[in-house]
Amino acid sequence: MEAARPPANAPAIYFSAGIHGDEAAATEGLLAWAEKNPAILKTIRPLIFPCLNPWGLVHNNRLDERGRDLNRCYGKRKPPQIRDQILVMEKRTFDLALTLHEDYDAHGIYIYEVPAKKPYWAEKLLAAASAHLPSDSRSRIEGRSAKNGIVRRKISPDLMPDWPEAFLLHFQHSGRTFTIETPSEMDIALRVVAHVAVIETAVAECLATR
Ligand SMILES: [Zn+2]
């Protein structure tokens, strides 16, 4: 989905959701945000991938129909649908990239922020979601050290041989890259509005700081 006539000096923002099919509130949240904010959409240059794994969404499955975790397919071995997505992104740069996810192990919402530009934004994004969901307070999340729901670690291209989407975005496309994770065992309505709140805040920050 692309805006027809974006203003030339508007910030470029990348949005994606649904690469894991069992994370429905990510896709729902991205669509809810877009439907709620038609005026904002005209002030930015958006590139929106609302559902990168439609088969998985229909079948409530993290993987695609051939058993692939598509969020490990941005490195050397790319399936056709990821190659097609990358063609759309080719030669484009973004001021901000948001990839939306859910995690059934999560104790609350948490965010991966690839450390790039200061000041960092993850605290503000979690504060925006806090009216709807608690932050995940674990000190380790997915094997990485975390603080108040934030995983902020430097990444290098060889850290993971099978790149997730965030690696491609950080190394080739985007000045700021965030991965948002809502707790998929909690109420879906709250997870959706939490995604909306995070997106609204990130876009507002992007517009305010350019
Ligand atoms: Zn996911």
Ligand 1 centroid from CA 8, angstroms: 33
In the chain, the number of structural domains is 1
Task: Categorize the per-residue pLDDT at 30 as very low, low, confident or very high, splitting at 50, 70 and 90.
Answer: very high
Residue at 140 is within a domain? yes
With a cut of 80, say whether residue 48 has pLDDT above it: yes
Ligand 1 centroid from CA 47, angstroms: 19
Structure-token match 């929106």, residue found: 48
Q: What is the mean pLDDT of the chain?
A: 95
Ligand 1 centroid from CA 71, angstroms: 8
Residue at 43 is within a domain? yes
Widest Cα–Cα separation across the chain: 45
Q: Counting Cβ atoms within 10 Å, is residue 203 exposed (0-12), middle (13-18) or buried (19+)? A: buried
Residue at 91 is within a domain? yes
Residue at 71 is within a domain? yes
Ligand 1 centroid from CA 9, angstroms: 32
Q: Report the CATH number that the domain containing residue 66 is assigned in CATH.
A: 3.40.630.10
Residue at 4 is within a domain? no
Residue at 173 is within a domain? yes
Task: Categorize the per-residue pLDDT at 142 as very low, low, confident or very high, splitting at 50, 70 and 90.
Answer: very high
Is residue 49 within 8 A of residue 12, CB to CB? The reply is: no
Ligand 1 centroid from CA 206, angstroms: 24
Residue at 73 is within a domain? yes
How far apart CA 87 and CA 81 sit, in angstroms, is 10
Global pTM?
0.96
For the stretch 95-114, pLDDT in tens is 999 999 999 999 999 999 99
Ligand 1 centroid from CA 149, angstroms: 16
Domain boundaries, position 160: 12-208
Residue at 1 is within a domain? no
